[in-house]
Amino acid sequence: MKYILLLLPLLFILLIGCNDTTKEKEEQNVTLTISAAASLNESLTEIKDQFEKEHSHIKVVLNFGGSGSLQQQIKQGAPVDLFFSAAEEPFNELIEEKLIDQTNHANLVKNSLVLITPKENKVSSLDDLKNASIERIAIGTPETVPAGLYAKQTLISRNLWDSLQSKTLIRTKDVRQVLTYVETGNVDAGFVYNTDALSSSKIKVVEEISEDLHEPIVYPAGIISSTKNKEAAILFYEFLKNDTSTEIFNEYGFGTIK
């Protein structure tokens, strides 16, 4: 009995230690929500998988969509830890409103815009979009989808925008929907990023759009100021800039910003 009484304090200490360890382990498990442009789907998914292998206590949830729509979600208080946009304008608005951390943001990659058609289509240039046989052209909604805005700027620069208003311009919720419409033959042509075109064997790239016809296509990323997981968010943000991520971005057709 005497020995049992002597062991009780030791057992009590061990139980407290186990509880503390369990509590500490639970506190270390973090879920990060990343809102990112739809055109980053494949590359960012691969980067996420690599990151989670190196940081097993952090789970990354990817929320893809049009950059303008994602921006509005953040402005309305959506629980997001990091925003990865396909354009500077919606991103800079969040910086101005101090919704993006002032010290943890940067332009990470760049892209280019291309005109695509179904493989059987005979369109060979931007000017062919005026042809009577071209009835439906898909673009991302310019107000919320950067690729759609770049497409609109391109058509205005080539004096095509006004003449194409008489055609059925199909506006989409994101650039990947444009790709789907072209793949399935629901439209005669569409504007997507080069990285989107590279992901599909069902379309034909008609023309890579000159950078002179639209604003620069750069992708800024930054941590949301209100994140409750800042340490983990910084880890992911820095991972996006390392050599592993750069190689993955390059494999999917993105250019590196020096």
d(CA 210, CA 215) in angstroms, rounded, equals 10
Question: What's the gap between Cα 197 and its chain centre?
Answer: 16
Q: How far apart are CA 169 and CA 172, in angstroms?
A: 10
210 annotated as ligand-binding? no
Neighbours of 77 (CB within 10 A): 9
How remote is the C-alpha of 140 from its chain's centroid? 15
Would you say 193 is a known binding-site residue?
yes
Amino acid letter, 130: K
178 is known to lie in a ligand binding site: no
The H or E element containing residue 178 is: helix 175-183
Q: Which amino acid is present at 63?
A: N
Which tokens go with 238?
Answer: 């820095």
Q: Which residues are annotated as a binding site?
A: 39, 67, 147, 175, 193
Q: Which residues are annotated as a binding site for molybdate?
A: 39, 67, 147, 175, 193
